[in-house]
Amino acid sequence: MFILSKLVWIFGQPLSLAFFFCVLGFVTGLLRWRGASLVSVFVSIAILFVALFTSTGALMVQNLEDRFPGPQGDPADLKCMIVLGGGFDSDVDTYRGGYSLNGAGDRFVEAMRLAEKYPQARILVSGGDGSITQEYLGDAIVSERMFSAFGIPRDRLVEEKDSRTTFENAINTKQLLDRNGMSNCLLITSGFHMPRSIGIFRKLGIEVVPWVVDYNTTGKEYLRLDFTQPSLNVQLLSTAVREWIGMVAYYAIGRTSALYPGP
């Protein structure tokens, strides 16, 4: 299932689809199937135009981010928090050392802030090597470097180092929560990732408090042409498509509590 999910995403993301239809148009053109060739080229151009030059991706990500409200002030007390991996450049950190944060690094910045404010709170980091090659350090290992560098004692950390997917995050986390007597923890992850994460945790009966971080949109996005930031546009669309593929697939095989989980 893990390999299949990776392959589906490799070939299912917008730029990959555009490339596929471009190749299909070329091949059908060589075979003199003019109608099929024209349709394939048109589909490829349409995908590229929507992905690169419209705000479709931003609008879709914004919808995901708005599904769960962000924190309205810190909790009165905090015993534990769960941080889902995905916030480090693990390939870089594996070979260069350190703890290089990527675009989802807010997950760990927020965890650090809360850890300093609530010195009694334990921190469970869930994240192994999610690559196909399995040659990199996971976020649980890399995060230990970061927390240690900022003076967070090792005994406050609970590391889940084996998960490769969000579903495995939840399965392995449940076992560690039971083993360590932890419950009703904050679940810290990116806004776009929260619906899928909450759906899986609910399905497994894990009680958590959604703690949304790492917004990628302004909250005021609308559908429009946007020629100013094509690379960001396609990145946002890829993020949204990936989340929806994950939610639909997990719902189809019974791994989530709802197709589009909400509060």
- Domain positions in the chain are 2-65+226-252, 80-213
pLDDT score, position 102: 95
3-state secondary structure of 148: helix
Q: Which CATH number applies to 80-213: 3.40.50.300, 3.50.50.60, 3.40.50.620, 3.40.190.80? A: 3.40.50.620
What is the pLDDT tens value at each position of the chain, 263 positions in all? 677 777 777 888 999 999 999 999 999 999 999 999 999 999 999 999 999 999 999 999 999 999 999 999 999 999 999 999 999 999 999 999 999 999 999 999 999 999 999 999 999 999 998 888 889 999 999 999 999 999 999 999 999 999 999 999 999 999 999 999 999 999 999 999 999 999 999 999 999 999 999 999 999 999 999 999 999 999 999 999 999 999 999 999 999 999 999 99
Neighbouring residues of 254: CB distance < 8 A, sequence distance ≥ 6: 203
Q: What is the 3-state secondary structure (H, E, C) of 82-95?
A: EEECCCECHHHHHH
Distance CA 87, CA 214 (A): 10
pLDDT score, position 103: 92
As given in the structure block, the two tokens for residue 123 are 């921190």
3-state secondary structure of 46: helix
pTM of the model: 0.92
Which residue, 108, 151, 258, 133, is CA-closest to 198? 258
